[in-house]
Structure 1
Amino acid sequence: MPLMASRRVWINVGLFVVFTIVFLSQTSVQDYLLSRSPHERLMRHFAEFERKAGRDPDIHRALEGVSDMERSGKLQEMSRNGTARLDNAALLERAPIMSAIYSRLSDRACANAVKGYTPSENDKAEFEGALLRLEADFVTKWMGSLQKAMRAEALATPMHLVTQEEMRAAFGALEGKIGKAAAMRVDAGLTQRATDAEFAWAARTIYAVAPSLPEPHGSALLRMMTQLGEETPASEPIPPLIPEVR
């Protein structure tokens, strides 16, 4: 066989092998071959994540005395409470992840999630559906963000409360990015009078735009959002925390 023809054969074989590996690595293909439903895959992913998180020394210490039945609930509580303790870099890293998830939720489910309300069964189903529509690698990144929040809560990392001056400056940067009308719409959407649709639009806008703002304005907006959920008890209206945008 001529040298060039032989080389082409090996190149084609190599490309076929690479294609086969990529094809078999796709989540949907793995599910089909293993007779595993997307829901089952997600639940397995969650179980593996909980085991991994529990091996973190700091989180493990926080779980001492917690029964196996209470373990999942405790980890969820730690991730929820620890989000407001994340540093600026972690908040900025988390923003695109939450933006992708919130964009796949209804306005009501999105608003409830951001406010920190106790999720309804429908909210839970929507959230699971959103995760199922995302790639496995993306869900892994989201779980990594959860683990950082759990660790921050376990370590009782000091929480920085966003000041009025920081919010005013951050909203000024937001206005410079999206325009005055849109910034005022965000402002109005985060008040007590806002509907779920208005609140969800404001939240999605902040999570989508904040990473592109100059620091510290982007992280200030994101920290403000975590504190909305942290400070608002379930079933109570959100207080008007946002200064007037001018």
Structure 2
Amino acid sequence: MDLDRSAKVWRAIKATARSDGAPPTLLSAVRACAAALSAIGAGFAVARDDGIWEPLVASDPVAGELEELQFSLGEGPSGDAVLSGAPVLESDLAALGAGRRWPMFSAAATQRDIGAVFAFPVGVGAARVGVLAVYRRERGPLPVDLLQDALVYSDAVLVLALDDRTGVGTDPDGLITAAFTARRAEVHQATGMVAAQLGLTVTDALARLRAHAYSSGLSLQDVATGVMAGQLRLEIDATDHRTKGTGSQHADPEHEEEDS
């Protein structure tokens, strides 16, 4: 990962969060991603253990509606990205191929003047946390520079989603390091050990490692090394196996005006 690009992405997420008067969250990440990619909106859907994805957060009502459409229709780029573990880059929803692949979703999206959808799996190794979807009016592929930004945004969403999964706060100063460390081999191995020890899914085990790192003040790398060396054994707690809401969340301009 490009450190300069990663720093740029996190600056955008933090700036968006500051405008909301809050620390970085999944909502600020998808908002910043949509703005950076000149998109009409973006959304994050969480992957369930049974392979089904559910909308969790969207940058705005339009993206929220599109996220719900994919979920309710049971087809679309997001579902394919979750199942394959690879990005699904559909540059023209009106094209014959898109119509054959997702007949109901592509028709519904084009009726809403959506030209392209780009879905990026959020996860690492066997831990599939969810999918980040970006919706654009313009047809055509993402420029290479924006595609690279989108991949970094998916890494940012990974860290924020892990923190959201366990209900811990997010330390803005440690986010870039956490995104890098989550992809290291030692973390993958420690995640497998924790999953086996606590009877968790791989995704929940990775979230527990991240939560322990945050609460203890240790780096994710140090926690993983301690687990691998047998010096640290995590315990099951109330945050494990917790379920998330199924409805998508998005910005409500009227609500924001009331709160301001």
**TM-score exceeds 0.5:** no
Greater C-alpha Rg: 1
TM-score range, shorter chain: under 0.3
TM-score, scaled to structure 1:
0.24
Q: TM-score, normalised by structure 2?
A: 0.24
Between Structure 1 and Structure 2, which shows a larger proportion of helix residues? 1
Higher relative contact order (CA 8 A, sep 6+): 1
